[in-house]
Amino acid sequence: MSTQAASRDVTAAASGTFLLGGELPVNRLGFGAMRITGPGIWGEPADRAEAIAVLRRSVELGVNFIDTADSYGPHVSEELIAEALHPYPDGLVIATKGGLTRQGPDQWTAVGRAPYLRQQVELSLRRLKLERIDLYQLHRIDPRTPVEESLGELRALQQEGKIRQIGLSEVSVAELEHSRSLAEIVSVQNRYNLADRASEDVLDYAEREGIGFIPWFPVATGTLARPGGVLDAIAKRHGSQPAQLALAWLLRRSPVMLPIPGTSSTAHLEENVAAAGVSLTDSEFDELAKLAS
């Protein structure tokens, strides 16, 4: 399928569905709302109208899983989502995160204390105009705070009906296993892409356990996309862009994979969603899998 045809005809529904926690159906190709903020994930976007348009277009293209965080902006991403999409269409799952504080552009400090997380949940509910957050993720395990305290508070908020499901971000298999003894964990969000598969063991564990795996920075290809290389050759064969091949590979890699490519451009969004219509052959998948091995 050509890029042009895919952009016109394909929606995120073509990526297949996954049941978060066995109960929340989402199309596997979602949208990450980090890049709709300013430089360094700080402040307002350069083009607010375009950021709003991107969010609305994502839903038009069948995206029903949007991932954000209170630290994106901070606050800006959540506020834009509410401005663009509230009242929310039926079936739209908005996931947010808490546990990283901001001191400036590209600065992030983990804070996992119970009172802080409770405050952030309440503020996210207010900004997103929600009565309950479908998926709330601990953005980082705070090395200065026992994870028992952090997850204990999220579990309490879940029992109060303010959180539906709990997820984690940037954890090891051991941390994930321990966390599951403290609370039901339905998703894990680790850096993972065609060029960087350091979290392969976490992905394998998530797949065995039926836990959603949300790869952040999913379209990174680095030097793999160099002209004349394998990725470039396969992309030309499909009439696609290397980033689309990277997303198609992720979707093929595991049924629990939930890529969330982000962008501040409507054209780039449409290109990313079109990746759901790219079908790799077995040999192409294997060729790409060997690139970072």
Cα–Cα distance measured from residue 263 to residue 272, given in angstroms and rounded to the nearest whole number: 9
Q: Closest by alpha carbon to 190, among 207, 213, 211?
A: 213
Burial class for 123, CB neighbours closer than 10 Å (0-12, 13-18, 19+): middle
The tokens of 12 are what?
């995120």
What angle, 0 to 180 degrees and rounded to 10, lies between the N-to-C axes of helices 48-60 and 266-274?
Answer: 20
Write the single-letter amino acid at 235: A
Q: Closest by alpha carbon to 93, among 55, 63, 52?
A: 63
Cα–Cα distance measured from residue 52 to residue 195, given in angstroms and rounded to the nearest whole number: 31
Cα-Cα-Cα-Cα torsion 78, 145, 39, 136, nearest 10 degrees, comes to -20
User: Could you tell me whether strands 185-189 and 31-32 are parallel, antiparallel, or unpaired per DSSP bridges?
Assistant: unpaired
Cα-Cα-Cα-Cα torsion 9, 12, 14, 18, nearest 10 degrees, comes to -170
Q: Give the residue numbers annotated as catalytic, written as ranges.
A: 72
